[in-house]
Structures are given as structure tokens and as C-alpha cells.
Amino acid sequence: MVSMYPSPLDVARHYVSHTISSRRFRIFVVVCALVLIARTISSFDLVHLPHSAGMPRPPSPDAGVAHVMGINHYDNDERRWKSVLSSSELEIPLEPRSNFALVTWNIDFASPEPENRIDAALSYLRSILVSGTGRPDAIWPSVIVLQEINHSMVKSLAENEWVQRNFYLTDVTTDSGIWQKSHYGTVTLVDRRIHVKAVLRLHYDSDYNRDCLFVDLEAASSLTSQPVTVRIGNTHLESLVSPKPMRPEQLKLAARFILYDSNVYTGLIAGDMNPIEGFDAYLHAEAGLKDAYLEGGGKEESASGHTWGYQTEENKYPKRRMDKILYAPGERVTVEQLAVIGAGEKTAKKPEVYISDHFGVFGSVRIW
């Protein structure tokens, strides 16, 4: 006799069919899909999506803001770095200087061996800055501006004994500020024989958290011997090509801080300018600045000024003068002895790698 009752399998099939066809279940599926999509989108770093994705990009929330920072000095007695707003708090008697060396170098955050590379960079810089007196600490008073310094490099800088003895350092840890949202940033070293009056980090409208890190120095006019404030900017302008170029506005903004601040006697901006488009050749002029290389007789098309493209594997892009020293017009500051440095330099420890894909630039600055 055939049973008139449905089998358990038939009951299960009917239940599933009814559930799937119900409106409530379809709504549940749609909601789950939307939640999954939202979570996926939130995991993207939308700030770094290219503009060509067609999505409108809101301005960076801190664009145009200049945050006041401290300057760090190493306390030999306590064996640790301490922060002060101005080196005058240390009550160290200093005679303002009218000349100093300025070095800019992009160290490349992404290449292997970052700690070894930054150590090799410091060793190399020490060798070219020694004054020749025979004393290992007798370096030419210098301001060193570095770009693409990653988290491990900051730690290596802070632990370097030569840096501890001879320099103030803008950044010694990466637990706050730009380091919380960026893999790399700008760091400036100032010779401890130069008085640091203030430190400012100016944020750009940027896809890559780029900025201009300013240090205000007390210098002396060569003509009058009067103390004056000289502002040095350490910058890394926007990378790549975008529908709306960002480098022009970034450099113009930074230039205003040295051209139109009544408390600043004169100033310079040095760093990686990323000049990869035709308009970049005129950015300094449009911002109201002078280019030390061009003012010294260099030619834009000359390979002698190139600082990038020679130490990258399988490079398909044109070699360029990426790194520049710019300065305020007039007769208050000059940059001489401009030279490309660091070409061919590698780490001492194996595996031996180039210090950076960039060369550095050295200049002798005099305040008049």
C-alpha cells in the first residue's frame, strides 16, 4: 500500500522552496549582500585610488593646516630624546651663523634593507661634511632634509650615535602625527650649533599625505651681523600624473610660508619635487622662487643635474632632476657649490644595495 504522507525529503524540499520564494527571505539576502559590499569597500584605502576611477575626491581634511611641533634633542645624562618647542629652552650659548650646508635626499621607503640604507646614508653624509680638522665631530654646520623616511628608518635615526651627538631631530618616534596614517614621511636634522626657533609641519591637499616640514633657524646677516630668522622647508610634492595636477598648488602654498611671513627674513625649500610633467619646469617661478641649479648656470636638459633614474632596476621612465633646492628671490640668500651627491653609494653590510633610487643634492647657503 502506497503511503499518502509526504516523505521527510519532500517536506524539506517544500520548505526550502517556500522560504527562497518568500519576500522576507529575498530582503534578507539583499541586506546581507549590501553589508558584504560595504565591508569590502571600507577595507580599501580610498585615499590612494587613482582619480581616473571616476570618484570625486574630497580635499584632505587637514590641507593647508600647519601644526606646531617640538624639536628633539638627545640628553646624554638620561640617554633619551627630549622635546622642546625651541632650542633656546636648553640655554646653550650660540652665535648665529651666516652660512651652513643644506642637504636634501630622498632615501626611498620601499626598497629592501631600510635600516642598513639609512645607516649607510648617515655614514656617507658624515664623510662629506667633515671639516678636515681631524676631529670626528667637527662637521660643517648642516641642515639635512630627508624624504621617504619609513618607520624603521626613524628608529634608526634616533638610535644613531652621530645623530645623537650632533643634531636636533624633528621626529624620533612614529606613534603620532603623520606616522599614524602614512608609511613614510619627511624628517629634518639640524646641527646643534644652529639655534632652532620653531618647527611647523604644513599639510598639503594630497593623495599620499604629503607635506612641507619647516624649521625656523636663527642665523646672522653676513652684512650687518644682525640675527635673523631663516625658514627651511623639507618637502615631497605629489607623485604621478592626475587629472587635476596637485604639485602647483602644493608648492605655491609652501612658498607663501617663506615669502609672506613678516617674521621670516628669508627661506629655502628643498626636497623631491617629482617634476614628471611639462608644467613642472616652471613651478618654482610660478610659486615665486628661484631654482639654485638653474641660477648657478645648470641646464634643465643636462644630465649633470639628474638625481633619479640610474639606480632603479629595469627603469622605463626618463632620467630626471627630481630633487631641487629652491630659495626666496632677492639678495638675502645665495646657494653655492651645488652638487649631486650619493651616486653609486651602497650599504656596507650584505646584501649590498643602493642607499636609494635617488641621488642627493648638496648646497652651501649664505645669508646676507
pTM value is 0.84
- Residue 97 shares a structural domain with residue 27: no
Strand 211-220 vs strand 227-236: parallel, antiparallel, or unpaired?
antiparallel
- Residue 35 shares a structural domain with residue 148: no
Q: For residue 368, which amino acid is it?
A: W
Q: Could you tell me if residue 246 is inside a domain?
A: yes
Average pLDDT over residues 340-362: 96
- Residue 211 shares a structural domain with residue 283: yes
DSSP state of 320: B
- Residue 142 shares a structural domain with residue 17: no
Asked whether the predicted pLDDT for residue 18 surpasses 60, the reply is no
Helix (H, G, I), strand (E, B) or coil at 191: strand
- Residue 24 shares a structural domain with residue 142: no
Q: In CATH, what number is assigned to the domain containing residue 239?
A: 3.60.10.10
- Residue 35 shares a structural domain with residue 74: no
Q: Could you tell me if residue 61 is inside a domain?
A: no
- Residue 40 shares a structural domain with residue 76: no
Helix (H, G, I), strand (E, B) or coil at 189: strand
Contact between residue 251 and residue 284 where contact means Cβ atoms under 8 Å apart: yes
Q: Could you tell me if residue 49 is inside a domain?
A: no
For 309, other C-beta atoms within 10 Å of its C-beta total 18
Residue 40 is predicted with a pLDDT of 37
Asked whether the predicted pLDDT for residue 36 surpasses 70, the reply is no
What is the tally of structural domains in the chain? 2
Q: Could you tell me if residue 59 is inside a domain?
A: no
Please report which confidence band the pLDDT of residue 24 belongs to, taking 50, 70 and 90 as the band edges. low
- Residue 28 shares a structural domain with residue 84: no
Q: Which is more confidently placed, 2 or 14? A: 14
Q: Could you tell me if residue 93 is inside a domain?
A: yes
Please report which confidence band the pLDDT of residue 28 belongs to, taking 50, 70 and 90 as the band edges. low
Q: Could you tell me if residue 257 is inside a domain?
A: yes
pLDDT tens-digit readout, 75-126: 999 999 999 999 999 999 999 999 999 999 999 999 999 999 999 999 999 9
Sheet holding 80-84, edge to edge: 80-84, 71-75, 167-169, 184-191, 142-150, 99-106, 360-367, 333-341
Structure-block grid coordinates of residue 148? 621617504
| Rounded Cα–Cα distance for residues 189 and 194 (Å) | 11
- Structural domain for 221, as ranges: 66-367
Q: Could you tell me if residue 55 is inside a domain?
A: no
Asked whether the predicted pLDDT for residue 236 surpasses 80, the reply is yes
- Residue 25 shares a structural domain with residue 174: no
| Residue length of the chain | 368
- Residue 27 shares a structural domain with residue 101: no
- Residue 159 shares a structural domain with residue 217: yes
- Residue 191 shares a structural domain with residue 294: yes
Q: Could you tell me if residue 60 is inside a domain?
A: no
Give, to the nearest 10 degrees, the angle between helix 8-21 and helix 23-42. Answer: 60
Percent of the chain whose predicted confidence (pLDDT) is above 70:
83
